[in-house]
Amino acid sequence: MMQGGKRILDQNQKDEKPLISIITVVRNGEKHLEECINSVLAQKFKDFEYLIIDGKSSDNTHSIIKKYETKIDFYLSENDKGIYDAFNKGMKYVRGKYFGYVNSDDILNPNALEILSRYIKTYPEKDFFFGAVKKHWGVLYGYKPWKVRFSWGFYSSHSTGFFIKTSSSKRVGQYNLKYKFSADYDYFYRMIVKHKLKGIGTKRSELFGIFRRGGFSSKINFFEHFGEEIRIRFDNGQNKLLIALIIILKSLKNINKLFK
């Protein structure tokens, strides 16, 4: 295990509590990591800390992290059990009142945290926020919690878009590692349906970041992803008739993939 960053370099550093913590998880992400890091460090809003959790990369990732060690608050490099395990590790080290993830393939817009801070000030009672995020097919924005029982298309994005109050996240718990592909869906389902946390989405023009195509989620087989989505609903005790209807409708919608 290797650790570094300002917390380790400066042993006299005070245990400060920034408003926001940003976590980047990475494994062998040398292609885009430096661009991601620079997008976080370029934030106009400065009351934040930056953490990087590396799954003991075998490429040039660690060298890139070391290059920015004096600007990163904390980094950890060790073996992990996948992206959701890395998310859980990141949670343990946050000191901010709110935190969110910016994956190593993605980019945070320069005014993202400035927008988020305004929402935090305007809606202090909210547990979480979904910022607008640009993906390759367009901009996703808003938050529609009523959709969660039959569709996962109720929010903008997990990476770059989702920020949660740290105290509220403790009610939800960690990402469940039994789900290899969609533990974020399970986390959101528990967050919204079981624990009834309250959130809000930004406007379309209030863009938090850019989600790059080609990351973890784009490499998942349709059937594996779909099967896990259904299992999440079963495991969370959702109505079985509704789940059956979801299976039928989504299978019909994706019938071309069934016969490939």
Cα–Cα distance, 92 to 108 (Å, whole number): 22
Cα–Cα distance, 148 to 10 (Å, whole number): 44
Give me the CATH number covering residue 94. 3.90.550.10
Do β-strands 128-130 and 199-201 pair in parallel, antiparallel, or remain unpaired?
A: parallel
Per-residue confidence (pLDDT) for residue 217, from 0 to 100: 55
The domain containing residue 172 runs over which residues?
2-220
Cα–Cα distance, 105 to 57 (Å, whole number): 15
Cα–Cα distance, 168 to 184 (Å, whole number): 16
Nearest residue to 83 via CA among 129, 40, 130, 29? 29
pLDDT one digit per residue (tens) for the chain, 260 residues: 899 999 988 876 667 799 999 999 999 999 999 999 999 999 999 999 999 999 999 999 999 999 999 999 999 999 999 999 999 999 999 999 999 999 999 999 999 999 999 999 999 999 999 999 999 889 999 999 999 999 999 999 999 999 999 999 999 999 999 999 999 999 999 999 999 999 999 999 999 999 997 655 556 677 788 899 999 999 999 999 999 999 988 888 776 655 55
Q: Give domain status of residue 247, yes or no.
A: no
Helix (H) or strand (E) holding 51: strand 48-54
Q: Give domain status of residue 235, yes or no.
A: no
Q: Give domain status of residue 248, yes or no.
A: no
pTM for the predicted model, two decimal places: 0.93
Q: Give domain status of residue 71, yes or no.
A: yes
Q: Give domain status of residue 253, yes or no.
A: no
Q: Give domain status of residue 131, yes or no.
A: yes
- How many structural domains is the chain composed of? 1
Contacts for 215 with CB less than 8 Å, ≥ 6 apart = 103, 105, 106, 159
* Rounded alpha-carbon distances, angstroms, from residue 108 to 32, 92, 102, 122: 13, 22, 7, 22
Contacts for 82 with CB less than 8 Å, ≥ 6 apart = 55, 177, 180
Q: Give domain status of residue 43, yes or no.
A: yes
Q: Give domain status of residue 237, yes or no.
A: no
